[in-house]
Structure 1
Amino acid sequence: MTLCGNYTGSLPPMIRTGQNEAIIQFISDETRSIESGFRLEWSATGCGGEIRNHPVGVISSPNYPNAYPLNIECLWHIYAEPGYRVDLLIEDIDIELTHECTYDNLQVFSGNNDRDSPLLLKQCSRAANIHVSSYGNEMTIKFTSDLSNVQHGFNATFRTTERGCGGTYFTDQGTITSPNYGGGNHYDPKTDCSYRLLAEENFEIELTVNDYDIPRSINCSASYLAIYDGFFDESDSVLLAKFCGQLTQPSNQALQFRSNNSILSVRLFSDGLHS
């Protein structure tokens, strides 16, 4: 929209951007001007975003406790410190009730996206005090509404707590273990831990597997330890190895792997039946 001249009557219509950025350009030429210029007001509206390394916080639907808007999609990505998990308490939720929550719904995923991360919760209708926890240190929350019938929405509190697993590591060296490793302890029966190891550009990563003890299954499909060259959840990653059972190399010799670039990822998955 381009404006010039004087507005002495009704103001121009409200302008709404289609994304999270707006550019306003004011131009004048060399002619002497005695006009007073302009004044405008703006406000940012929307929902979702990234939340990194905040130990506690609040997430709610737009306009809560009033009715949420029609036809919206909000995505929140919560990232805790490595070794922590995300606990979410949905204190109040009031969303249009439909069969299988087809239209309006709140979904919670254990991971950094809503495509292939494990689904923890899909909720509509009215409820209170629903608690879910991520398997690792990442959680994605997705709120969707359609073109009709809105309710009050939801209000939730998240908190990061120790005892989680997974995370992103930028250090030159380190050690990662499954939750509760050592001393005869077991990790949780239902576990999905993703460790992302990052090095400087043009560097490679060397990984040594010293020990593993994971329930056996056909093709290691139920529970496994997997190592990927690249991020495991991206299409161009390469599966380097997938283990279940116990480390049975001669004299328990360690297994070594090397990335082709600066990214290596490790995933520990358990189907909830064994640990």
Structure 2
Amino acid sequence: MWYEDFQQTYQMKYCGHHAPNGTETYSHESEVLVHFHSDHSFAGKGFVMEYWLGCGSVFSLTDSAQILTSPNFPEFYENNQRCNWMVVAKTGRAIKLHIDILQLEDSANCTKDYLQIYNGPENDSPLLGHYCGSTLSGEPLTSTSNILRVLFVSDELVNAGGFQLTVEEMKLDCSSDSLVLVDDDSVGELYSPGYPHIYRHSMDCLWTIQSPSGTRIQFDFDPDSFDIEQAPISSEVGCIYDYVEILDGATIAANSLGRFCGNRVPETIQSSSNYMTVRFLSDESAAKGGFKATYRIARCGGTVVGRQGVITSPNYPHHYEHLKECEWYVRVPEGGYVNFTFADLNFGGVGRRNASECTADFIEIRESNKTGPLIGRYCSGADKNKHGRTKSNLMYIMFKSDASLNGRGFKLLYNYTSYECGGHLNQPNGQLMTPHYPDFLSGSLFCEWIIEVPLSRRVTLTFEDFSLPAGLMHFCFNAHVTLYSDPEAMNPIVDAAMCGADYELPMSFRSTGNVMVVRIETETASDARGFRATYHSDEPAGNLMLSQTKK
């Protein structure tokens, strides 16, 4: 069975040798059609089906509270009753149910006459309550979706006055949608709806956080309170069911700083302005414990995500405090690297320190993380307008001040630059090389060149320089080059991928036809140079020939 526009539709088919255990249907009309069909081949024993005069219905809620009662209430209900009600609220809302009156036959474990409330429409939906006798629970029951199932069963013996329930729709509470920070010491807390209990289904909550003009916002998830439904581990689709997303601005259209699910706690997140938007979305299936987070005016440090941005020292352009240590992790999209420029750099106290050593106040920039290769350490006013770049899409920044003099600090601009590599080469001869050659080999890189020459010619590719990270036991791990003789990259020119630098150069390869595909893939940045190669189409197409010699 399924539901469409709050009406239950029955189109059930059964076959085989296994009875559909526990399957119950009920009709809103006085007639039900049962259709049995057999073909001309095999025959079986058939089936036995029970049916009875039932009670219950689909109970669609309106904006006001409604009453649901047992049959004949307030008179005694009849024996041998089995009633199903589907209480349905509008999509995106929940249901609150309160038991006003309860007068049922009492029994141990409520096995005779009983009332059951299920958190959902199915027989195996979570059971919210199982009742008999006349003892009332004071607290109302609340669903996590827009459907509750109410089941009432009476046996063939004692009967009683029955029950009365009050049911009403609930707007799923996302709490305040506007959160304001007023000073440096204020800290706000944000929870998923219902925390510390599991969050509800079908929620879509938006919170906008605002701090004073000229400040930024720091957002931290509690490491002990982060559990959001995610796709199976084997899936590559990421956070598509339930998720919390941080947006770098005042609207849902702002740049995303990250979409998170599962139970791996995200790092500290910072906005690039005085606005941040948090969105929490849950679907209609599984629900988890949710999240707890804090937000405050960013003092220093954090994770900065986006194609471009600005990072400043604390209190900039006013003087920073003494004995500060701040760390930023910058992440731009994969397939590119980080360009940075110091728009301002002033650490005060001209001449009081050795600018070449930067032992007092300084800013340090590294590849990827705090243990990555050093890009530079900066402390002099002469470093203003200095440019730099990373090898990969990750950059680490540390700012440190001592107990002596201070200044207005720094203002650093960064932006994302994509690797320029690959393409369709259709000239009779040409040259290709890896990005940044010969400076370094970039990380998270995939480049593909398709070389296509006239039909009667073939491609001769010659590597004039070839320097990639070495493999291990004839296997290439962090970087490799592969060559193919067809545009679909199905027919390799050499059996194994190439890596390392242990080749006799120049090294030449020839295609069998007029097409050659050259691919390079890297996972991490390295000091290897990459490659430089030339190609020509002087030879006619023919049998495959290659020259690959190890030193």
Normalization by structure 2: what TM-score?
A: 0.28
SS of 2:144 mapped into structure 1:
coil
Aligned to 2:100, the other structure's residue is in SS state strand
Q: How many angstroms does 1:110 deviate by?
A: 1.9
Structure 2 counterpart of 1:98, which letter? S
Query: How much has 1:212 moved relative to structure 2?
Result: 11
1:68-217 aligned within 5 A: 68-117=77-126, 119-128=127-136, 130=138, 131-163=140-172, 179-180=174-175, 183=179, 184-186=189-191, 187-188=193-194, 189-195=196-202
In the alignment, the residues of structure 2 paired with residue 212 and residue 21 of structure 1 have an alpha-carbon distance, to the nearest angstrom, of 58
Q: Structure 2 CA distance, aligned partners of 1:215 and 1:70?
A: 54
Q: Hey, what does 2:536 align to over in structure 1? A: none
1:265–1:151 CA distance, 2 compared to 1 (3 A): closer
Change (3 A) 1:76 1:60: same
Give, as a single letter, the amino acid of the residue that structure 2 aligns with 1:160.
E
Q: 5 Å matches for 1:218-229?
A: 223-227=227-231
Q: Does 1:58 align with 2:67?
A: yes
| Structure 1 segment 15-34 matched on structure 2, within 5 A | 20-22=29-31
Are the equivalent residues in 1 in contact too, given 2:105–2:158 (CA < 8 A)?
yes
Task: Give the letter for the 2:168 counterpart.
Answer: R
Q: Which residue of 2 aligns with 1:267?
A: 286
Contact 1:91–1:129 under 8 Å retained in 2: no
Q: Between Structure 1 and Structure 2, whose CA radius of gyration is higher?
A: 2
The alpha-carbon deviation at position 244 of structure 1 amounts to 1.8
What is the CA distance between 1:21 and its match in structure 2?
Answer: 2.5
Instruction: State the distance in 2 between where 1:185 and 1:104 align.
Output: 44
For 2:41, the equivalent position in structure 1 comes to none
1:213/1:244 contact within 8 Å kept: no
User: 1-side partners of 2:156 and 2:124: how far apart?
Assistant: 23
| CA contact 1:214–1:244 (8 Å) conserved in 2 | no
Query: For residues 136 and 109 of structure 2, what CA distance do their matches in structure 1 show?
Result: 19
* Alpha-carbon distance in 2 for matches of 1:85, 1:265: 12
Equivalent pair of 1:195/1:267 in contact (CA under 8 Å): no
Deviation at 1:180, TM superposition (A): 4.3
CA apart distance, 1:97: 0.8
Cα distance in 1 between the residues matched to 2:72 and 2:222: 47
Q: 1:213 to 1:138 in 2, by over 3 A?
A: farther
One-letter amino acid of the counterpart of residue 94, structure 1: Q
Change (3 A) 1:96 1:265: closer
Picking from 262, 265, 280, the partner of 1:243 is 262
Q: Give the partner amino acid of 2:201.
A: S
Distance 2:221 2:168 in 1: 31
Of the two structures, which has the highest relative contact order with CA contacts closer than 8 Å and spacing of 6 or more? 1
| Residue identity (%) | 20
1:138, distance to aligned residue in structure 2 (A): 2.2
- Aligned-partner SS, 1:93: strand
- Cα displacement string for residues 203-230 of structure 1 (whole angstroms, at most 9, x for unaligned residues): xxxxxxxx9968669xx9xx431458xx
> What is the alpha-carbon distance in structure 1 between the residues aligned to residue 78 and residue 222 of structure 2?
47
Kept in 2: contact 1:85–1:137 (CA 8 A): yes
Aligned AA for 1:126? S
Contact residue 225 and residue 266 of structure 1 kept, 8 A: no
| Residue type of the alignment partner of 2:105 | E
Answer yes or no: is the 8 Å Cα contact 2:119–2:128 preserved in 1: yes
Match of 2:55 in 1: 47
Contact 2:54–2:82 (Cα < 8 Å) also in 1: no
How far is 1:191 from its partner? Answer: 2.1
Query: CA 1:22 to 1:108, structure 2 compared with 1: closer, same or farther past 3 Å?
Result: closer
Deviations 1:207-263 (A, max 9, x none): xxxx9968669xx9xx431458xxxxxxxxxx9897123346x99xxxxxxxxxxxx
Structure 1 residue 67, shift from structure 2 partner = 1.4
Amino acid at match of 1:121: G
For residue 105 of structure 1, report the CA deviation from its aligned partner: 0.8
The total of aligned residue pairs comes to 182
Query: 2: CA distance between counterparts of 1:146 and 1:163?
Result: 38
Q: Which amino acid in the other structure matches residue 229 of structure 2?
A: L
Instruction: Quickly say closer, same or farther: Cα 1:244–1:142, change in 2 above 3 A.
Output: same
Q: CA deviation at 1:85?
A: 1.9
